[in-house]
Amino acid sequence: MERWSKFALVGIGILWAVLALAPELFDTATVRLLARMMVLGLLALSLNIMLGNTGIVSFGHGMFYGSGAYAISLFWSKQGWPALMALALTPFIAAGLAAIAGLVAFRARRLYFGLLTLAISQFGFVIAMQWYSMTQGENGIHGVELPDWLVPIEKKYWFIFGVFTVAAVLIRIIVASPFGTTLRAIRENRERVAFLGINALRYEYSAFIISGAFAGVAGGLLVILDQNSFPMLFHWTTSAEPLLMIVIGGAGSFLGPVLGAGVVVFVQDYLREVTEHINLLYGIVVLLIALGAPGGLSGIGSSLFIGGPRLLMRLVRRGAGSDEAVPKPNEPEVAKADWETPVEVTR
């Protein structure tokens, strides 16, 4: 994972402080929008443990997201459990589901793996649709009760912000650990890692479970925000959305997925009032990023901030007659940086 410079850390700190004060600074609609960005940002972050770090595409994270949401709604509607008690259980429920789904999905690789995860998630969609007595079918479960202190939007926001912060820090610790380094080593060269005596499949499976657990928490937070859950959460289009957010924000940067989620949520909310052609815009942006800027927005940003000065340096050096090769700005410098330092191996 990229190391943050002091400059970047200060920037993140300031942003964090602004977000912490958001209910004091912005109106209710904006605060609600920010909360939604964090819910989806957490979903995208969790999925990027798979996509960005392990290099595996899961099309089924809607399954964990939805299960987190339904866990709260169902425990509330069937057992009368308080929402927060159920929220504490969401990571374990989602992780358990991921452990079971992984047993099936990891029999296959690559495209087959992706489609198997999609299939399993779609299966969840049908259960949520069909099992009317349990899930109230297409209508979903509405009006989940929250404790009184959590009802005002600013309290809700702070709660979601707090959980998001803790979860993001945990994910950061996980991907920066030797475990995370091994995941990226697997992404770069699975066979070489296997030759080191590492059971790559076990690492991928663990990453899937961890990723699923955090996606479950994101689903739980969604219920805290909206107080309802509905079958579409399991649908494959829900699974595709965080993938697009990661791609737009940049899979190679830790906060890229959050950036992507923020941009997508904002643009969708803002543009819906201005134009009907959201899909056209979405399509063009994804097309341009897929073809021209695989690093996403954060990749473009870093090539402006890092690549710009580098380009200047190169021009200066050219002028001085030196022909030294300077790294290209838009290379996935994150992945490269991991290989330049020797891979740390756990156990």
Partner 1 sequence: MTADEAIVQLIAGLSRGGLYFVVAAGLTLILGAMDVVNMAHGAFYMIAAYLATVVITEFGVGAGFALAWVVVPLAVMGIAFVVERLIMRRTYGRGHFIQILTTFALLLITDDIIRTIFGTDPRTVGRINALAGSVDVLGLPVPTYNFFIMAVAAAVAIGLFWLLAKTGYGRRIRASVDDPEMLAAAGVNLQAVRLSVFMLGAGLAGIAGVVVAPSAAVQPGMDVEIIITAFAVTIIGGLGSVSGALVGALIVGIVESIGVFYIQRGSLAIIFVIMAVVLAFRPTGIFGVRRAG
Which residues contact partner 1 (rule: CB under 8 A)? 57, 104, 107-112, 114-116, 118-120, 122-123, 125-126, 129-130, 236, 240, 244, 247, 276-280, 282-287, 289-291, 294
Shortest distance (Å) from residue 107 CB to partner 1: 6
Shortest distance (Å) from residue 217 CB to partner 1: 25
Q: Return left, alpha or beta for 250; rule: phi > 0 is left, psi -120 to 50 is alpha, else beta.
A: left
Shortest distance (Å) from residue 262 CB to partner 1: 20
Shortest distance (Å) from residue 72 CB to partner 1: 24
Distance of CA 292 to the CA centre of its chain: 22
Phi, psi of 94 (to 5 degrees): -65, -40
Structure tokens at 109: 């690789």
By C-beta, is 12 or 280 nearer to partner 1?
Answer: 280
Structure tokens at 304: 């402006």
By C-beta, is 194 or 278 nearer to partner 1?
Answer: 278
Q: Which of 242, 337, 296, 264 is nearest to 50 (CA)?
A: 242
By C-beta, is 80 or 292 nearer to partner 1?
Answer: 292
Contacts of residue 244, Cβ cutoff 8 Å, sequence gap at least 6: 260, 264, 282, 286
CA distance 275 to 135: 35
Shortest distance (Å) from residue 54 CB to partner 1: 13
* Start-end of H helices in 177-255: 178-188, 190-195, 200-226, 236-249
By C-beta, is 243 or 259 nearer to partner 1?
Answer: 243
By C-beta, is 227 or 239 nearer to partner 1?
Answer: 239
CA distance 174 to 318: 42
By C-beta, is 281 or 313 nearer to partner 1?
Answer: 281
Q: Which of 98, 53, 80, 346 is nearest to 205 (CA)?
A: 98
Shortest distance (Å) from residue 51 CB to partner 1: 8
Shortest distance (Å) from residue 116 CB to partner 1: 6
By C-beta, is 57 or 153 nearer to partner 1?
Answer: 57
By C-beta, is 223 or 265 nearer to partner 1?
Answer: 265
* Start-end of H helices in 106-152: 110-130, 132-135
CA distance 225 to 132: 24
E strand residue ranges, 146-297:
228-229
Shortest distance (Å) from residue 280 CB to partner 1: 4
CA distance 161 to 238: 22
